[in-house]
Chains A and B, each alone.
Chain A
Amino acid sequence: MAVIRDMMPAFELFQPSSVEDALDLLGRYGKDGWPLAAGLDSFDWFKDRIKRPRAVIDLGGIASLKEIREHDGGLEIGAMATLAEVSRDPLVSRRFALLSDAARHVATPQIRNAGSLGGNLCQDTRCWYYRSGWPCYRAGGNVCYASAPEAMNREHCVMGAKRCVAVSPSDTAAAVVALDARMVVRDRRRERVLDAEDFFIGPAIDITRMTALEPGDLLTAIRIPATFAGARFYFEKVRDRQSWDFPLVTVASALVVRDGTIESARVALNGVAPFPVRLHEVEQAVTGRPQNEETATLGGDVAVRRVKPLRHNDYKLPLMRNLVRRALRPAEA
């Protein structure tokens, strides 16, 4: 087990009141700077002394990062809006209930009151080999301990693995991918707007990061386009216990159905790969078909085509198939 300590090593704490100040600090400290949202992920790292930033930039005092407002027909949600606010906000729940539903499934009420949407999206993987301080690929080392045949890998990848088999633990990540959200990323020099699908990166691209955020970058907002406003949403999270737990598999879907036929669909899973997986093949398979049990079964079968379970997680295969099937069924089924 990791060497658990109660005291965090010393770091410089900055509490900027504007995004510009925060970006300036992040740019100044680069790899040694750590943006702190609510600290629900960060403090574990600090206490275990696995991550040792020189400077921590607390984003809690930046009011503009907490706003939820209409934007270009859709919504713009500040990265520091709490999960509780996202789950309760009438703008979100009226038009994009998928996201409010996902936010409501995170951890516990206490954590949702403190934790932010941005923090939930950017949190690091929960692979315990990695979290325990093993020098694995994700920690900059040369090996994945979780993918070995004798490893404890019940919660790990069944697809998208590339050396590292850790999974993305975010409940809201699948929802923002299904909603075709755009992630607003800023550094000192520029602003980038990334598709949610591109924001989450796999180990094939960079094995030490889960998102496209580089040192000096800050996720400032999540923009949800109007495309799927009011669509038929489905969110389900399967976990070992019904509270305060990370997902085994999460499904999020947005369907536009007209006269019983699926006109367009976006389906995403999380907990199955190092990033939230958009199921393009499922979407293609079900688009243009009637929304019925047969189509749902087809979608479920297509969802597991590329699955490659590890020794202890082949249970995720039927789980994925059934969750996708449920996500595609008519509401009354």
Chain B
Amino acid sequence: MDILRRAANPWDQEVLLGIGWDLFWWAVAAGAVFVVVHTLLVWRLSRRAATRPPTATPGGAADATAVPPRVVRHSLGSRLFHWSMALAMLVLLGTAFVPVMGFRFDWVTIHWVAGLVLIATVAYHVVRATFFQSPRAIWVGARDVREGARELRHLLGVGEAPLVKPGKYAVGNKLYHHGAAAATLAAIATGVLMMVRIDTPLFTQDPYLLGDATWGMVYVLHGAAGVLLVLMVIAHVYFAVRPEKRWQTRAMIKGWITREEYLEEHDTSRWPLPAGEGSGEGEPATGDRVPVSAGG
């Protein structure tokens, strides 16, 4: 297996080109293994009828009558961001790796245009999350780490401690967000640099902007971010279609979760509904701006 691709220049000096394309197949294989192993673990848990043992979340019991029938989990803006970013990401990964799989087509222009769309969506998200939402809602604190470890032990069947309901986002969601953000930002930063090497209306073409070795590192980072995102997209789609997670998928499509899902799946003290929006029966209450509590 080639981890890195290298070539020789006319003086027989080695030049780093990028990651070996075998890594793409390893990412696909790792994604498949993850799906199979997780499915088996969850299946084993269900056989033991212990997928969700009784929780002991203090303060988690909200007054059910004060919760509207539908609670907004993702506002329209959040959903538009998610789906436009997802579309851009799929186009980027498709145009990057489908040619590697042997299906040839004119992919370069589609790739960098999709990259620009991705940059726009990420910029929108960063501004919105920073100034109009609570970025701390997605931070991973010490409590999250403890809860994550507990969930992992539970999944592996080695822990007896009861699971704890999360706030708006479970620790798995938070970790996924940060991993995807890091890989995406790395891909964006290196991708913008790489655009200088091709003919686009945005930059004056300059293949010598960086030295060969630095360019090699840029391509390695871009490729590594790409294969990591392949793995993460596989995991993400897998969780989106799992039966016990479909309420989250529906929330990302329609925006809301039901009162029962809110009460059953979330610690309401860590994701309280905004004041004054809990008694209505018709319109869903908004929960997109998440008040921070208990380290969430």
Contact = CB atoms under 8 A, between A and B. Distances in A.
B205 A3 contact: no
Contact of A162 (B12, B106, B194, B197): B106
Given A3-B10, A135-B9, A141 B106 contact: no
Given A142-B215, A142-B219, A163-B198, A133 B208 contact: no
A15 interface: no
Interface string B52-80: 00000000000000000000000000000
A145 B207 contact: yes
A148 B208 contact: yes
Given A141-B17, A204-B108, A205-B105, A148 B10 contact: no
A149 B206 contact: yes
Contact of B8 (A135, A143, A161, A162): A135
Interface in A113-137: 132-135
B99 to A, nearest CB: 8
> Main SS of chain B's interface residues?
loop
B207 A134 contact: no
Interface string A193-230: 00000000100111000000000000000000000000
Contacts of B215: 142-143
Give the size range of A's interface with the partner. 20 to 34
Contacts of B17: 135, 140-142
Give the size range of B's interface with the partner. 20 to 34
A204 B99 CA distance: 11
Interface string B85-112: 0000000000000000000111110000
Interface in A239-269: none
Given A162-B106, A163-B199, A140 B5 contact: yes
A114 to B, nearest CB: 28
B153 to A, nearest CB: 45
Query: Lowest 6 A-B CB distances belong to which pairs?
Result: A135-B7, A204-B106, A133-B10, A143-B207, A2-B10, A205-B104
Interface of A: 1-3, 132-135, 139-145, 147-149, 161-163, 201, 204-206
Given A132-B10, A145-B207, 5 more contacts: A135-B7, A135-B8, A141-B15, A142-B194, A204-B108
